[in-house]
Structure 1
């Protein structure tokens, strides 16, 4: 039997002894949405029978609205991400224009230095203008958001209270789910337990984050972002949720958005090694190799043996054709972890770029023993074999 058929709800009309059997979905209706057979006999909702359904349809409606709500929130988040992207583009332009190092000055001619001087002298006026414009735009946006919040009566919502027993049970389930995620690496089982926790307390912030992180570990990055966003609705400054979202975006090659979100995480913890790597890797993905090296070095100042950061630095150096230094960095990574895939791929490509095909093949063969169906490695290996045939 469908579990929803077991639901018993007393009719809102206290004079009726029957349970609710029907539900009304007419938007303009002012009567109680839930009603019993006696209500129907009395002519309630008689004017719009096309909008009357069995009680079980209530749950289909709730599930549909939940999905539409998620879709709306995702669209709003993307709109705000675009705002942040434009903002950080502005910040980057300001830094490039007005923060000139002594080393850069030494490499400029007199005409270029004169141009810089003219611009910097006008900086005070520019600063005043931009601060006024940003403050005005920010205030207008906040006012509009606050008006929407009030108009939609979002401050008055209180459909139900989560009981103390539900909160306690939800926490117990979260702890069980976290153990499956962190210690046992059983991500699908963790998600099943976390879903139980969230049914009891949908605002359990750590359960929301842990589900997002488990989805990320299963390579379900879009789903991970959805659940990280739900966690951030509860606590917009939760560091782990910010990092989970940023890293999921990076894995989807959405590098500009990654930088937006990882910067939020780094505002909370500026020395988080993995976040620094995520930013470095995203900058590398955008072709900003010098910047990537700077951020990889920041990660390496915290952990000199962080293989992912060493790999990102080496790839950036290779793209800048600093082959000798790139090889040194790769070898440092492989000393820490001889089976680090990114480093094996990077070393293979570096050797291939220098026409050292036999040595490159050794790296690619080792990588394929670890991940045998990796198409990029197979393609590079075939390129080396073809090059050797032509010698």
Structure 2
């Protein structure tokens, strides 16, 4: 607080030549909150001296309100996230109940088919009911939010304007930060530069996104989400911020939430390979292997050499015990890069699951030459050696 002791602000009363010395924090007070000693001698704020503080306390107040504001926004965001999770659960249930493949029908008996048929015949009535209910709830929520926005006077806020000089200075800091992030991969240095951009213009959307992305690259996923949310508060359809948030959620193993946010990104760019991969990998994390393969194939149609998608597809096939198909996909990735660790691990596990222990050992040994202290590989290798001893 001492750094603000020399702060100079003129008294709001034009007849007083003095500078502001005191601040009033009484909620019911109608007088000017900032006032000088002459105002005090004139009896202003006399009725509530317990709420009067020295001017430097103003900044303690602003810092406290900033924290409380961030806490409120985070709580509200969590409420909306819960709504989105419930919605995703709903649409997932609808798909599970009403989308029946030919293969599924062939594995059912006549009683089960009859039950499904009865439900699907009623789908038209169900569709009408649910659309009306969701539309009504959506309209009510939007009306309530708009009313709050107007009642709080948020549409009239204009405390300050960022001048052209500040905008230019902020942009210069952002460009330096972006270069450190994109070209130099110096993420911590990038964040330092981006913070300078945001200190001049806190609404610089690309600086907010770039800071979020830099935090993600440093594996600071929770912090990355916070800054991605700040960028999305300015533009809810900013593609890169949507992807950054979705991928951070995936890395935190919050797969349902990741899918919600990556779906928003894919509505903007349906062919963005990294977003498609995020969805595929999230589905795999949820154990939805067939769906994961479908989305991995979407990536591979665009980029046949996308390592991560090849790995996701092969792992999903392995979990479905489709070993031949899994091995074919793994061989495809190994042709591109014979030292691709995920592919060596996956191939070794496929062979091990089929009791081909000698062949699996070859894969594990190759993997250990690349990453010699990888415990999972060591454990699988020992399992194969023990199995060979028992033969």
TM-score (norm 2): 0.92
When residues 162 and 315 of structure 1 are mapped into structure 2, their CA distance, relative to the original with a 3 A threshold, is same
Give the number of aligned pairs.
391
- Segment drifting more, 358-367 vs 60-69: 358-367
CA 22–270 in structure 1, closer or farther in 2 if over 3 Å, else same: same
| Cα distance between partner residues in 2 of 1:217 and 1:361 | 33
In structure 1, what is the Cα distance between the partners aligned to 2:30 and 2:380? 68
Shift of 1:241: 0.4
- Assess, with a 3 A threshold, how the Cα gap between structure 1 residues 291 and 8 changes in structure 2: closer, same or farther: same
2-structure distance, mates of 1:360, 1:216: 35
Query: Any stretches of 5+ residues in structure 1 without a counterpart?
Result: none
Instruction: Say which SS state the counterpart of residue 23 (structure 1) adopts.
Output: strand
Q: How far did residue 361 of structure 1 move? A: 5.1
Gaps of 5+ in 2: none
1:291 equivalent in structure 2: 291
In structure 1, distance between residues paired with 2:102 and 2:318: 26
Q: Shift of the alpha carbon at 1:343? A: 2.6
Residue 351 of structure 1, CA deviation: 3.6
Across the aligned residues of Structure 1 and Structure 2, the Cα RMSD in angstroms comes to 2.4
Residue 76 of structure 1 pairs with residue 76 of structure 2 = yes
Cα offset, 1:206, TM superposition: 0.9
Q: Where in structure 2 are the equivalents of 1:214-233 lying within 5 Å?
A: 214-233=214-233
Tell me whether 64-73 or 291-300 shows the greater mean CA deviation.
64-73
Partner of 2:29: 29
Instruction: Determine if the alignment matches structure 1 residue 279 to structure 2 residue 279.
Output: yes
In 1, the alpha carbon distance for the partners of 2:390 and 2:46 equals 85
Deviation at 1:29, TM superposition (A): 2.6
Residue 306 of structure 2 is matched in structure 1 by 306
Partner SS for 1:50? helix
CA drift at 1:133: 0.8
Whole-angstrom CA distance in 1 between matches of 2:116 and 2:328: 37
Check the 8 A contact 1:81/1:260 in 2, yes or no: no
Q: Structure 1 pair 387/133, CA: closer, same or farther in 2 (3 Å)?
A: same
Q: Judging changes above 3 Å, is the alpha-carbon distance between structure 1 residues 253 and 142 closer, same or farther for their aligned structure 2 residues? A: same
TM-score normalised by length of structure 1: 0.92
Cα deviation, residue 45, structure 1? 3.0
SS at match of 2:343: helix
Q: Distance in 2 between matches of 1:257 and 1:380?
A: 32
Deviation (angstroms), 1:144: 1.1
Q: 1:359: how far off?
A: 4.9
| CA distance in structure 1 between the aligned counterparts of 2:145 and 2:293, rounded to whole angstroms | 39
